[in-house]
């Protein structure tokens, strides 16, 4: 029987882990799965060693006081791996915790196969991370099609298994139409997404609000957000033009994405959600002065928008750092809303992006499961 130990430390990793477990059980129903995960992995049969929320800590100020607790959790995970002696340890994103566990587990069990799900973005910054990771990781499951070459160059095997965005549910045209009717939207609809963290919202919302002054008066603004920043977002958009509609419900957000004509969004994976829905976009981002200067020196690419990276183009207008100013952002969004050729040019890039990320093929979780089994010697992983 194949026995695996999985570790996820964030909700995004929990989703990936759940899809991987589902894929593994489809191919090898008797697979034994242990480890650390959240509610989605637990719903697939994982009994988490301890609550995944213990690991979901971000920011230096938040991490420092919790270091002793995190060290204890690390040691618990290492001890469980030593006791269970799995055929493989599969760590899912969260490299700060996961790769420390992998290193200690490998020292205790040198023949342990170690796989990591989600390649580090060494193509963008800090390329030395790949070689450091290769000391304790044998195989990588990559979300982006250009990542395997970077991982292999560092000494690991790597398979592109597809991005989870291609398996996310999309609203139907009927649901999009009902969203418009429900909110009395007859003209253009612009999504505006100023980030999912309080710092992002406080920094970007004023810029985005001012940029909207350049958009046609009949444009309605919809602001999809997440519950933990909803109050901040509502306060920030209260005086925006376009009578902003703030939505947090998952089904409402899907319908809003399907109904939108264009979007203005903070840089991040939301660009892929927009691409999946065929929504042309403008991307903007800024950070504090010191972080901006440091990142500018470290970046190895001239665009951070995933659509542009996947298609090797500049199809999506991008306003980062010093360029994150209301005037140019507003003009770019206004052009998308009123010039059909601008939207058409992006539409082709969005289609190519989704195809490159695995749309139309096997679900990413199933592809990841095949990759894991083949690495463990299942040359003909069941179809």
Least confidently predicted of 115-119, 227-231, 295-299:
295-299
Does the structure show a pLDDT above 80 at 237? yes
Residue 265's alpha-carbon distances to 294, 315, 333, in angstroms, are 23, 15, 10
pLDDT at 230: 95
Residue 90 banded pLDDT, cuts 50, 70, 90: very high
Does the structure show a pLDDT above 90 at 29? yes
DSSP letters for 59-110: SHHHHGGGHHHHHHHHHHHHHHHHHH--SEEEEES-HHHHHHHHHHHHHHST
Task: Average the pLDDT over 46-69 and give the result.
Answer: 74
Does the structure show a pLDDT above 80 at 240? yes
Least confidently predicted of 11-15, 76-80, 257-261:
11-15
Segment 326-353, tens digit of pLDDT: 999 999 999 999 999 889 989 999 999 9
pLDDT at 56: 65
pLDDT at 326: 97
Radius of gyration for the alpha carbons in the chain, expressed in angstroms and rounded: 22
Task: Average the pLDDT over 116-123 and give the result.
Answer: 92
**Residues making up the chain, counted from first to last:** 383
Does the structure show a pLDDT above 90 at 155? yes
Side by side, which strands form the sheet with 318-320?
A: 245-247, 220-224, 189-193, 262-266, 281-285, 318-320
pLDDT at 294: 60
pLDDT at 61: 47
Domains and CATH numbers, the chain: 3-162+360-375 (3.40.50.2000), 173-356 (3.40.50.2000)
Residue 97 banded pLDDT, cuts 50, 70, 90: very high
Would you say 342 and 335 are in contact if contact means Cβ atoms under 8 Å apart? yes
Alpha-carbon distance 127 to 111, whole Å? 27
Does the structure show a pLDDT above 90 at 381? no
Does the structure show a pLDDT above 50 at 204? yes
How crowded is residue 198: how many other Cβ atoms within 10 Å of its Cβ?
13
Would you say 237 and 228 are in contact if contact means Cβ atoms under 8 Å apart? no
Segment 254-304, tens digit of pLDDT: 999 999 999 999 998 899 999 999 999 999 999 765 665 665 666 677 788
How crowded is residue 11: how many other Cβ atoms within 10 Å of its Cβ?
14
Q: Mean pLDDT across the chain, nearest whole number?
A: 92
**189-193 and 139-142: which strand pairing?**
unpaired
Does the structure show a pLDDT above 50 at 11? yes
φ/ψ (deg, to 5) at 36:
-130, 130
Which of 56-65, 88-97, 283-292: highest mean pLDDT? 88-97
Share of the chain above pLDDT 90, in %: 80
pLDDT at 60: 45
Share of the chain above pLDDT 70, in %: 92
pLDDT at 59: 47
pLDDT at 296: 64
């Amino acid at each position: 029987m194949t026995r695996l130990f999985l570790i996820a430390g964030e909700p995004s990793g929990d989703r990936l882990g759940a899809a991987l477990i589902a894929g593994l059980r489809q191919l090898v129903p008797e697979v034994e799965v242990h480890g650390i995960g959240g509610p989605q992995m637990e719903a697939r049969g994982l009994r988490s060693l301890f609550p995944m929320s213990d690991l979901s800590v971000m920011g230096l100020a938040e991490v420092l006081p919790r270091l002793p607790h995190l060290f204890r959790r690390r040691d618990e995970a290492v001890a469980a791996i030593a006791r269970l002696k799995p055929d493989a340890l599969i760590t899912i994103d969260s490299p700060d915790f996961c790769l420390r566990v992998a290193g200690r587990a490998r020292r205790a069990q040198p023949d342990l196969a170690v796989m990591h799900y989600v390649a580090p973005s060494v193509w963008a910054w800090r390329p030395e991370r790949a070689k450091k990771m290769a000391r304790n990781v044998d195989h990588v499951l990559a979300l982006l099609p250009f990542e395997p070459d970077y991982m292999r160059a560092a000494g690991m095997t790597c398979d592109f298994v597809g991005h989870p965005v291609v398996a996310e549910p999309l609203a139907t045209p009927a649901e999009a139409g009902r969203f418009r009717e429900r909110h009395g939207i007859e003209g253009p609809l612009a999504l505006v997404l100023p980030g999912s963290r309080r710092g992002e919202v406080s920094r970007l919302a004023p810029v985005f609000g001012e940029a909207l002054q350049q958009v046609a008066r009949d444009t309605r603004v919809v602001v999809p957000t997440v519950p933990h920043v909803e109050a901040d977002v509502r306060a920030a958009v209260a005086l925006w033009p376009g009578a902003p509609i703030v939505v947090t419900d998952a089904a409402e957000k899907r319908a809003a994405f399907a109904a939108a004509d264009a979007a203005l969004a903070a840089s991040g994976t939301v660009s892929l959600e927009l691409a999946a829905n065929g929504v042309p976009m403008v991307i903007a981002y800024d950070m504090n002065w010191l972080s901006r200067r440091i990142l500018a020196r470290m970046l190895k690419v001239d665009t951070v928008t995933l659509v542009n990276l996947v298609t090797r183009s500049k199809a999506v207008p991008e306003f980062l750092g010093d360029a994150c100013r209301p005037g140019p952002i507003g003009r770019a969004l206004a052009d998308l809303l009123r010039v059909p050729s601008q939207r058409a040019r992006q539409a082709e890039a969005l289609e190519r992006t989704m195809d490159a990320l695995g749309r139309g093929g096997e679900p990413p979780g199933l592809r990841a499961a095949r990759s894991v089994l083949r690495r463990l010697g299942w040359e003909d992983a069941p179809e």
